[in-house]
Amino acid sequence: MALLGVLGALAVPAHRAHETRAIFASFPPYPPSPMFGRFIRRVAETIVLLLAAYAFFRVPVGEKTSFQHLVAIFSTDTAREAAREYKAVGEQIKNEIVEQVRAKAAPSEEEEDAGAIVDASDPDA
User: Does residue 101 belong to any structural domain of this protein?
Assistant: yes
Domain of residue 69, residue span: 29-75
User: Does residue 123 belong to any structural domain of this protein?
Assistant: no
- pLDDT, residue 1, reads 47
Q: What is the DSSP letter of 12?
A: -
66 and 86 belong to one structural domain: no
Task: Indicate the pTM of the whole model.
Answer: 0.46
> Distance between alpha carbon 107 and the CA centroid of its chain, in Å?
39
50 and 81 belong to one structural domain: no
Residue 57 near residue 65, CB atoms below 8 Å: yes
Residue 79 near residue 87, CB atoms below 8 Å: no
Q: What is the pLDDT of residues 64-113, one digit of tens each?
A: 999 999 999 999 999 999 999 999 999 999 999 999 999 888 776 666 66
- Residue 71: name the closest of 54, 90, 56, 49 by CA: 56
User: Does residue 97 belong to any structural domain of this protein?
Assistant: yes
3-state secondary structure of 28: coil
